[in-house]
Amino acid sequence: MVNSMKKELRRAVIAGNWKMNKNRAEARALLEELVPMVKDADCGVIVCVPFTDLETALEALKGTNVAVGAQNCHWEASGAFTGEISAGMLAEMGVEYVIIGHSERRQYFGETDETVNRRVRAALDAGLKVILCVGETLAQREQGITGEVVGLQTKVALQGVSAGELKRIIIAYEPVWAIGTGRTATSAQACEVNHLIREVAAGLYSEEAAAALTIQYGGSMNAKNAEELLNEEDIDGGLIGGASLKAPDFTAIVKAASR
């Protein structure tokens, strides 16, 4: 059993996933509003924006405590992959993070555990940090196979990732049934799966590595429920969709994570 009572060892990280929202002007306005509101945050703050907003975000967030992330990258370095963006291209711009394996990519764009693993490898090789998403569907939860599904997703995604590289990975547990539905996992449900992910990491690496791993929860996290979720021992932050599109809501979650 991994001793998760080392929450204070881990830095809480709140990441916004804007998904396919905000043109450049809207992105600039939102970031200009957000920066002064979160400047004293005592946790990591990241915004993962559409590719077309990366340049704007890098410019607006230069010298601030808010890091910039993308929402996907391809596994090859370059070549005939029309419409794709490589990890190296992101790193060269100054992007620090990339979300990989989001359930919307698994659901709508044919992402598999294997392609997630290839993208994770490519991102690490390019020097990026990864927010790796895992999570079960409602049918899987109702079948009682949440642990198996999330365990397998985690193991396959981390194939070939060294203990040193694990330090550049954040795992986000996002139950598919809680994303954009307004239906949040209870804090106990979320903590249970986060703990299980930590145990998988302990098995793959070591108790120390697992105890240091930041594991977020995502899925309808908002200004109202954030505090309760973030108080759980194994929930080290959040990956925020809808609520990251409004500066006051996102700030409230950042404040709840600042301790």
Is residue 195 flagged as an active site residue? no
- Supply the minimum distance, in Å, between the C-beta of residue 232 and ligand 13P: 17
Q: Terminal CA-to-CA distance of the chain, rounded, Å?
A: 26
- Supply the minimum distance, in Å, between the C-beta of residue 182 and ligand 13P: 8
Q: Which is nearer to ligand 13P, 88 or 101 (CB)?
A: 101
Q: Which is nearer to ligand 13P, 88 or 218 (CB)?
A: 218
Single out the catalytic residue among 74, 102, 104, 199: 102
* Those residues with Cβ within 8 angstroms of residue 168's Cβ, 6 or more apart along the chain or in another chain: 124, 128, 129, 130
Q: Which is nearer to ligand 13P, 170 or 196 (CB)?
A: 170
| DSSP H/E element including 133 | strand 129-134
Q: Which is nearer to ligand 13P, 151 or 218 (CB)?
A: 218
- Supply the minimum distance, in Å, between the C-beta of residue 170 and ligand 13P: 12
Residues near ligand 13P (CB under 6 A): 17, 102, 174, 179-180, 218-221, 239-243
16, 33 contact by CB (below 8 A): no
Distances (CA, A) of 116 to 16, 102, 106, 155: 20, 9, 9, 11
Is residue 148 flagged as an active site residue? no
Single out the catalytic residue among 104, 111, 136, 174: 174
The closest residue (CB) to ligand 13P is: 241
What SS3 state is found at 19?
coil
Distances (CA, A) of 44 to 39, 106, 144, 242: 11, 26, 34, 19
170, 130 contact by CB (below 8 A): yes
- Supply the minimum distance, in Å, between the C-beta of residue 49 and ligand 13P: 13
Active-site residues, by number, are 102, 174
